[in-house]
Amino acid sequence: MKYITPSKKTHLILLVFLFEFFLIFPLSYGSTEENGAKKPSKAFWSVGNTTMFPGKVQIDKEGTTETFNFNPTFSFGLEYPFRETLLIIPELGLNFSGNGRHAAVSRSTFFISTDPGKRFKYFLLHTGIGLHWTFIDGPGGTETLNNGNSSTAFYLPEFTSISSNLTWTHGIGFPLDFMFDQKNAVLKLDSALYNPFDSLKRAVTYRIALQFSFSVEGLPTFFNGD
Amino acid sequence: MFKLKAFSFLFFFVFHIALGHSFTFNNNAAAAFDKDEITVNVNDTDCAGADSGDSNYACNSDFITPQKLLDLTERAINRFWNRIPTTRLNLVRGSLVSKGNTFRRGQLCNESYASGTCTPNTALKVSSDILISCNCHKNNFGDSNVGILGVTIPNNYDGVAIKGSLILINGRHDGFHNLTDNEKINVIGHEIGHALGLGHSPVEDSLMYYSNIGKRDHLGWDDLDGISYLYPSSQPLNLNCGTVSLKSPNDSDSSESNSGPNNTSFFLLSFFSIVFLGFILRYGRRRFF
């Protein structure tokens, strides 16, 4: 007889997921003032850096793994107030990945997410599910490389390959108004967990970004309209 | 506010430098296996001391057993190729298979290793998946030790789909035998990369670099990108297809164990989706409708 036995890490991830999920929603509902002033919907854009898969990739002969890598990231999104402090935050973005070691092949990642979030006094928490598409392409042709005791022409990628991954996203945002008097700026720390239930393929990316919000005339008010 | 915006634009554009990696393929069609789960089997023929009097096929007297080779293979696939987050590929430990002496004595290509060309020897055609065998033919590794630890070729194609790949580990000389277990795992991992369709990388920290480096516990960016290119994941559609892992309670839970994707994720995602929808309907109803 056989049993399904998720690893200990999987159990830990499930616990964190449950904690976040059931903390944000019930607390948010309980603290909502039904007749409180409604916050308007907003749009935002952000610029920052995403570190892909820290601890997963070796970067030198000594076996060092990467804890930070530079992948400029740009995103655009909306904040729909759902209740007084509860938001739905659809976001889409693009990061240009790579380590700059070789220009033959390029990699970039496009992502979308629609996270529910909870606004607290000094920060905003959000968690949800996202999709990440990784685009890898190259110029074609060959590259002559060492092969045993001689050299051989190996083939470079010619077309674009797209990997799509479902991710568990979560993050925290700190409005900068109380620090720098920037009413529409937020410091964001986000992460996306790839393959949360596969102990081998599990990997994380994290993003540090500055977000700028602005009101948009005519933005749909589905979530905050009576 | 203007300064913050100016800084962020600068941050984005100044550092958007030439990016990318440099993995390659071992064929011009970027051929790959046409399935997600690939089994790696090992030939059960023992090489140690075999054909000791024959100058063409003589094996090293101390070569590791087929069982040990299979165990190292499992560690190689779980240390390297099963850890890539952006691929659908899942390698599975196979079993010892009886192939007789053909794969121990056979020549990988019709030409000698020194000729620089390779026409696959059809007698060693692998019908499906990946087969690893020790091999002692002098034309594969040289009459004297020239440092070749293993040779690999996908030798069974259907169009641009690889059907079978053969890995021959050098059982003739003591180069492979004298390596530590970790180094043996790296060599096997490198050869499996070729079996999957990858060529060499010019980057020293990649597993697909042509030479074995001393300290290796993870893949490099080239390896990760190369496999993601050949075997891209397509979630959420293939979230649980064909990779259900049923483990007995006695199975170890080491970092290299093949826990793999399992159908727990399907049930949990479904559960949370239902909870989420229920929440929206329950508490959003008064607002929305």
Q: Domain boundaries in chain B?
A: 32-230
Tell me the C-alpha to C-alpha distance, in Å, between residue B210 and each of A48, A191, B93.
36, 35, 25
How much is the pLDDT for A12?
Answer: 58
Residue B264 has pLDDT above 50, yes or no: no
Phi, psi (degrees; rounded to nearest 5) at A46: -140, 155
Instruction: State the pLDDT at residue B113.
Output: 73
Determine whether the interchain pair B214/A103 forms a contact, defined as Cβ–Cβ distance below 8 Å.
no
Q: Which of A137-151, B36-50, B246-260 has the lowest mean pLDDT?
A: B246-260
pLDDT greater at residue B9 or residue A65: A65
For residue A142, the model assigns a pLDDT of 83
Measured between beta carbons, the chain A residues lying within 8 angstroms of B221 are 57, 59, 98-99, 101
Interface probe with B: pick from A56, A102, A181, most Cβ of B within 10 Å: A102
Over the stretch B212-238, which tens digit does the pLDDT of each residue have? Answer: 887 889 999 999 999 999 999 998 876
Residue B272 has pLDDT above 80, yes or no: no
Q: In the structure, what pLDDT confidence band is assigned to residue B116 with cuts at 50, 70 and 90?
A: confident
User: Which positions in chain B touch A152 (Cβ < 8 Å)?
Assistant: 116, 199-200
Q: Which of B3, B4, B16, B22 to mutate to test the interface with A (most CBs of A within 10 A)?
A: B22
Contact residues on chain B for A56, CB-CB shorter than 8 A: 83, 85, 218-219, 224
Q: Is the pLDDT of residue B42 over 90?
A: yes
- Contact between chains at A136 and B224 (C-beta distance less than 8 A): no
d(CA B148, CA B175): 8
Contacts of B210 in chain A (CB under 8 A): 145-148
Which residue did the predictor score with more confidence, A5 or B278?
A: B278
Determine the pLDDT at residue B238: 60
- Chain B residues closer than 8 Å to A200 by CB: 78, 82-83, 258-260
Domain spanning B32-230, CATH architecture:
3-Layer(aba) Sandwich (3.40)
d(CA B49, CA B52): 6
Render pLDDT for B137-172 as a digit per residue (tens, 0 to 9).
999 988 887 788 999 999 999 988 999 999 999 999
Task: State residue A222's pLDDT score.
Answer: 46
- Measure in Å the smallest separation between the Cα of B235 and chain A Cα atoms: 5
Q: Determine whether the interchain pair A201/B84 forms a contact, defined as Cβ–Cβ distance below 8 Å.
A: yes
Query: Given this model, what pLDDT does residue B240 score?
Result: 42
Nearest CA in chain B to A193: B85
Of the partner residues B26, B205, B233, the one whose CB lies closest to the CB of residue A60: B205
**CA gap B168, B137 in Å, rounded:** 10
pLDDT reported for residue B84 = 96
Using one digit for the tens of pLDDT, what is the confidence trace for B48-97?
Answer: 988 888 888 899 888 999 999 999 999 999 999 999 999 999 999 999 99
Q: What is the pLDDT of residue B224?
A: 93
In B, minimum Cα distance to A137 occurs at B229
Give the mean pLDDT of B178-203: 94
Are B205 and A58 in contact (CB < 8 Å)? yes
pLDDT of residue A98: 57
- CB count in 10 Å sphere of residue A148: 20
What are the tokens at A156?
């470079």
Q: How far is CA B54 from the centre of its chain?
A: 33
CB contact under 8 A, B232 and A48: no
Higher pLDDT, B36 or A149: B36
Q: Is B274's pLDDT higher than 70?
A: no
Give the number of beta-carbon pairs within 8 Å between A and B.
251
- What's the rounded Cα separation, in Å, for the pair B206 and B223? 6
Q: What's the pLDDT score for residue A101?
A: 55
Q: Do A57 and B263 touch (CB under 8 A)?
A: no
**pLDDT in the model for residue A184:** 83
Cα of B274 to nearest chain A Cα, Å: 13
- Which residues in chain A come in under a pLDDT of 50? 1-6, 25-37, 99-100, 222-226
Encode chain B in three state secondary structure: CHHHHHHHHHHHHHCCCCCCECCCECCCCCCEECCCEEEEEEECCCCCCCCCCCCCCCCCCCCCCHHHHHHHHHHHHHHCHHHCCCECCEEEEEEEECCCCHHHHCCCECCCHHHCCCCECHHHCCCCEEEEEEECCHHHHCCCCCCCCEEEEEEEEECCEEEEEEEEEECCCCCCCCCCHHHHHHHHHHHHHHHCCECCECCCCCCCECCCCCCCCCECHHHHHHHHHHCECECCCCCCCCCCCCECCCCCCCCCCCCCCCCHHHHHHHHHHHHHHHHHHHHHHHHHC
Asked if the Cβ–Cβ distance from B19 to A53 is below 8 Å, we say no
Q: Looking at beta carbons, which residues of chain A come within 8 Å of B219?
A: 56-58
**B63 with B48: CB under 8 angstroms?**
yes
Please answer yes or no on whether B205 and A145 come within 8 Å at the CB atom. no
Q: Shortest CB distance from A200 goes to which of B205, B220, B260?
A: B260
Domains of chain A in sequence order: 8-31+39-99+106-214 (2.40.160.20)
For residue B122, the model assigns a pLDDT of 93
Over residues B14-27, mean pLDDT:
56
Contact check, Cβ <8 Å, A102/B84: no
Q: How confident is the model at residue B271 (pLDDT cuts 50, 70, 90)?
A: low
Task: Report CA B151 to chain centroid distance, whole Å.
Answer: 14
Say how far apart CA B65 and CA B43 lie, in whole Å: 10
Is residue B289 pLDDT above 50, yes or no?
Answer: no
Question: Are the beta carbons of A47 and B249 separated by less than 8 Å?
Answer: no
Say if the Cβ atoms of B19 and A103 lie within 8 Å. Answer: yes
